[in-house]
Every structure is written in structure tokens, then in C-alpha cells.
Amino acid sequence: MNVAKSFKRAVFGRDGFPSFFLSAGEYSALRNLYTEFRISRFHRAGLRRIRHESLLRPSKINLGSGTTRKDGFLNIDLFPGGDLTLDLRRPLPFESDCCEIIFSEHFFEHIDYPNPAYDLARECLRVLKPNGQIRLSVPDTEWPLLDYPEGIDSGFFRAAKENAWWRPGYCSTRIEHINFHFRQAGEHRFAYDEETLRKALEEVGFCEVRRVSFDDTLDSKHREIGSLFITARKPM
């Protein structure tokens, strides 16, 4: 990197904002505003693609896919990397009673609870066909809370040490691990256990809500450990 670029990076930061002249709070607010403008632009692009490609009645949807695409699914995320970019905090732009299955892994913890998490769950119920299924996975928060009294060498904390991508390098105490589990550098908005995820799905109208095991035909292998898997159905 040349001197001019180095100076620009030092003064303006990676996103082009003048971080040198702003407080941390001001810089964070500008970054969040910039991110929201990007999401809005991507959402409009996704809506245009739905219209142009007649995607109003998808049979299988993967919500919050990131770059992990599932074959046979319409893979949707806030940012490019899947098939479609949509702001999933807004109503789903699909027809009612059109979808056989909605899949989502490690996404619901990234949106605020109870809303818009409840709103998105209601939209999933609307879009699904009668007897259609939703399958969700989120980080299992019951596990670290149960293991906390057992000490740093108990199951969750051993797993966190062995899986470097679970935590940043500074994590060495139990509460540091748990804080990162809850927050993930500000990306996580809510931590779920089975009781709470079941409550949310049942309150919006889903039935047959049950905890299930890892499914190697659908779930990503790196989500096998530390995930809470739940399925539910739309009533007939």
C-alpha cells in the first residue's frame, strides 16, 4: 500500500468516514447509517429481480444464507452471496401459501427480539403452504449457561477453545466466552434456548414445534456442534 493510501486509511478508516476526527460513537453511528443505506439498495435490487424473474412463488427458501447456498433453495441474505438480496426485517415479497419448506441456520439470532423476529416468523407462516415446514438452527445458549458452574474445562468452553472461529483470541475466561456467544462483536441481537424459540413459533401460529437432531442432508457440517435445531409446521 502506498503512502497516500495509508494516510487515507488512517484518517478516514476502511469505510471512507473521517474516523480521525470523530468520536467512537459518531463513527459507529455513521457506519450503521452507511450499512442501512447499502441494505436498502440491495433490497430494491432483490425486489427488481423477483419481478423480472417471476420469483413470487418459491417452493424452498433459505433465509439468511450468507454465502452458504443450499441446492434447490432460493438463497436469500441481506448482502450479496446467495441468489437474492432482501432486507429480512421487512415483509417477505412472496405470495401466501406457496412454499413447502423454509430453512434458516444461524440467522434469527442476528435480528432483534421480539420484533422483528416475531414479524419474520409470521411472514414465514404466511408464505408456507398448509402443513409446510420451517427448520431453524441458532446457537444453543442453554449449553454455555449450564456449563458455566462446571468451570473452564467443561464441555462448552473446551469446544470454544478447540474451534477458533467460535471466539476471538482474547477469550480466556468463561464470561468472555459467554459474552462473545451472546454478542459476537455486536452481530448477535438475541440469544435463544429451546423454550424461547418454541414460544416464539407457537405464538405466531406454528404447530408441532419440536427439537430435532442435526441433519447431514441439509444442515451445514460446521453447525453440528453448538446448535439448537427446531422444526415446526403450518397448520392445515
The answer to whether the peptide bond before residue 93 is cis (omega within 30 degrees of 0) is: no
| Apex 106 CA angle, 104 and 110, nearest 5 | 105
Residue 1 reports pLDDT greater than 60: no
If you average pLDDT over residues 136-144, what whole number do you get?
98
21 pLDDT tier (thresholds 50, 70, 90): confident
Residue 27 reports pLDDT greater than 90: no
- pLDDT for 163-212, tens place per residue? 888 889 999 999 999 999 999 989 999 999 999 999 999 999 999 999 99
29 pLDDT tier (thresholds 50, 70, 90): very high
- pLDDT for 65-98, tens place per residue? 999 999 999 999 999 999 999 999 999 999 999 9
Q: Which of residues 6 and 228 earns the better pLDDT score?
A: 228
Predicted pLDDT at 165: 86
Predicted pLDDT at 95: 98
Question: Which of 125, 133, 73 is CA-nearest to residue 100?
Answer: 133
Average pLDDT score over the chain: 93
Query: Mean pLDDT lowest for which of 40-44, 87-91, 155-159, 167-171?
Result: 167-171
Measured CA to CA, the distance from residue 57 to residue 107 in angstroms comes to: 22
β strands within the chain, DSSP E: 60-63, 74-77, 84-85, 99-105, 128-139, 207-212, 227-233
Scored b (16 or more CB within 10 A) or e, 120-137 reads: bbbbbbbbbeeebbbbbb
Q: Which CATH number fits domain 57-140+192-233: 3.40.50.150, 3.30.505.10, 3.40.30.10, 3.40.50.720?
A: 3.40.50.150
pTM given for the model = 0.90
Residue 142 reports pLDDT greater than 60: yes
Predicted pLDDT at 7: 43
Predicted pLDDT at 133: 98
Residue 43 reports pLDDT greater than 50: yes
In the chain, what are the domain boundaries?
1-54, 57-140+192-233
Q: Which of residues 2 and 11 earns the better pLDDT score?
A: 2
3-state secondary structure of 39: helix
Residue 114 reports pLDDT greater than 50: yes
137 pLDDT tier (thresholds 50, 70, 90): very high
